[in-house]
Amino acid sequence: MGAFWHDYLYTPLLNFLMFLYNGPAFGNMGVAIIELTVLLRLVLLPLSVLDERNRFRYEKLNRRIAAIERDFKADPVKRKEMIRQMLKEHRVNYWSKVFLLGVQAVVLVLLYQVFVSGVRFTRHEMLYAWVRVPDQVNTFFLGFDLAEKSVFWPGVVAVLLFVNTYTVQKQREHLVTKSDVMYLMLFPVFTFVVLMILPTVKSIFVLTSMVFTMIVFAIRKTFFRLGKEPPG
């Protein structure tokens, strides 16, 4: 497993990142990370489209789900079964989201390893023949060292996450529960704390991925309006 991780995941990512750094990013590691994230999300775009389709279908079922939660409030087992059955009937599943998040989580771990031991201390034998070895790797982006911890970028991620979650909940205010409110308040704080203790590169990756997701969501909202709920 260790050899597979190193040879087929870590080394290819390190080489591709250095390729971007030397070429399209013009020696700017922050731009290279943004380009890497966008390319990754483009590769995963079919899964993003499936995820948005599921979210669209789920939104159309919101009122019926709320009715089930109200009618079976005292019977959580039956409530879950009814909701699961309804989602199955309307082909709503979340495997695309699970896989999407899983791939991004793996890349996050790899980026951590790359910045801890790879980028600044790249050995020549680690790079492929077609990747030029830079004289020096500049890890600064907009005045911040991507290999070091930061408070600013985790703060930007947390604020954007709060605003995005608040906007989504505002659109379905009649369905917002206490747990949703707790999620709105606590998850951005949790995200901020976690990113604050990690290299800044993680925040740039997460921020870029979030913006990409928001763009896909905005496109979906523009072209696919909620119509009548499916017949029940």
Q: What residues does 145 pair with on adjacent strands? A: 140
- State the Cα–Cα distance between residues 110 and 4, nearest whole angstrom: 13
Residue 39: predicted pLDDT: 94
Residue 83: predicted pLDDT: 79
Residue 118: predicted pLDDT: 60
Give CA torsion, residues 44, 50, 55, 60, to 10 deg: 160
- State the Cα–Cα distance between residues 52 and 45, nearest whole angstrom: 10
137: left (phi over 0), alpha (psi -120 to 50) or beta: beta
CB contact at 8 A, 31 and 25: yes
DSSP per-residue codes, 43-98? HTHHHHHHHHHHHHHHHHTHHHHHHHHHHTTT-HHHHHHHHHHHHHHTT---HHHH
Torsion sign (Cα): 173, 177, 181, 187: negative
Residue 121: predicted pLDDT: 54
- Tens of each residue's pLDDT in the chain, 232 residues: 678 888 889 889 989 999 999 999 999 999 999 999 999 999 888 877 777 777 777 667 777 777 787 788 778 888 888 877 877 777 666 666 777 788 888 888 888 888 776 665 556 668 888 988 888 888 899 999 998 999 999 999 999 999 988 887 776 666 667 777 888 889 999 999 999 999 999 999 999 999 998 898 888 777 765 444 444 4
